[in-house]
């Protein structure tokens, strides 16, 4: 299984042709629970590093007079910022997932039940454990990239956070995706498992079925505002305003 094919099987690309904002957004079909998934992503070492960077920017860009008037101490901003990220990150996942018609997905993909059953096989479970950091990192990158774009478009006084926007080498090194992909390559080479082979084949079919189940008329209108419209109110509570 080469990495190009592997990427399709892992990412379950959503609306790649319909809208750049949703391209390569990773979900595990219609069954992934957004709130639990988002919390898991932010609890990873990469997630913690991004939260710390978000908190640093928050402390730098928050208006000092506003913080004083609201009696918000600088050391409280990290916790409050994380709460904001989880709230809006969950909303982002829920919104992206809403563009997939679950009934159409099941209709397009007759192998759905078999795919779910394979997830309980020991070798497939191990494969998914190795793959999980890639999926979690992709969601984190999506959440922060869309946030940065929304901030830029709406002239909010908040410096970029996502490694894509900043080129932050430290954050880039903490992204586990490359190491996990190498581990997956090794796992596949050393474990000639019919169950894993079948799982990957069905996952690729599931990716195509997911694309076919996209509500395209809605998905074409997707942009950063789809996910973050209204976040200004929450940012204002943390003393972040618009640029003058």
> pLDDT tens digits for 125-177?
999 999 899 989 988 998 999 999 999 999 999 999 999 899 999 999 999 99
Read off the pLDDT of each residue in 109-114 and give the average, rounded to a whole number. 90
Pair 112, 106: CB distance under 8 Å: yes
pTM over 0.75: yes
* DSSP per-residue codes, 33-64: -HHHHHHHHHHSHHHHHHHHHHHHHHHHHS-H
> pLDDT tens digits for 190-242?
888 999 999 988 888 887 887 777 777 776 777 788 899 999 999 999 999 98
Q: Rounded distance, CA 54 to CA 49, Å? A: 9
Pair 123, 187: CB distance under 8 Å: no
Ordered by start, the domain boundaries in the chain are 3-9+24-237
pLDDT surpasses 50 at 29: no
Residue 223 phi, psi dihedral angles, 5° rounding? -160, -175
pLDDT band at 3 (very low <50, low <70, confident <90, very high): very low
Q: Rounded distance, CA 31 to CA 99, Å? A: 14
109 compared with 238, residue with greater pLDDT:
238
> pLDDT tens digits for 33-60?
889 989 999 999 999 999 999 999 999 9
């Amino acid at each position: 299984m080469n990495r190009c094919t592997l990427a399709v099987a892992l990412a379950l690309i959503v609306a790649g042709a319909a809208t750049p904002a949703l391209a390569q957004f990773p979900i595990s079909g219609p069954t992934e629970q957004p709130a639990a998934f988002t919390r898991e992503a932010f609890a990873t070492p990469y997630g913690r590093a991004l939260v710390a960077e978000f908190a640093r920017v928050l402390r730098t860009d928050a208006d000092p007079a506003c913080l004083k008037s609201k009696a918000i101490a600088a050391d409280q901003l990290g916790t409050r910022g994380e709460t904001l990220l989880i709230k809006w990150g969950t909303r982002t996942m829920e919104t992206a997932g809403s563009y997939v018609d679950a009934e159409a997905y099941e209709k397009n993909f007759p192998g759905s039940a078999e795919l779910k059953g394979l997830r309980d096989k020991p070798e497939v479970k191990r494969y998914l454990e190795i793959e999980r950091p890639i999926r979690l990192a992709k969601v984190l990158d999506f959440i922060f990239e869309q946030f940065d774009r929304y901030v830029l478009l709406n002239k909010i006084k908040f410096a970029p956070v996502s490694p894509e926007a900043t080129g932050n080498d430290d954050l880039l090194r903490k992204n586990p995706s490359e190491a996990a992909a190498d581990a997956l390559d090794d796992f596949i080479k050393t474990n000639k498992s019919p169950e894993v082979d079948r799982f990957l084949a069905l996952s690729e079919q599931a990716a195509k079925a997911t694309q076919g189940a996209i509500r395209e008329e809605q998905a074409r209108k997707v942009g950063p505002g789809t996910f973050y419209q209204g976040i200004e109110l929450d940012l204002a509570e943390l003393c972040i305003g618009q640029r003058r």
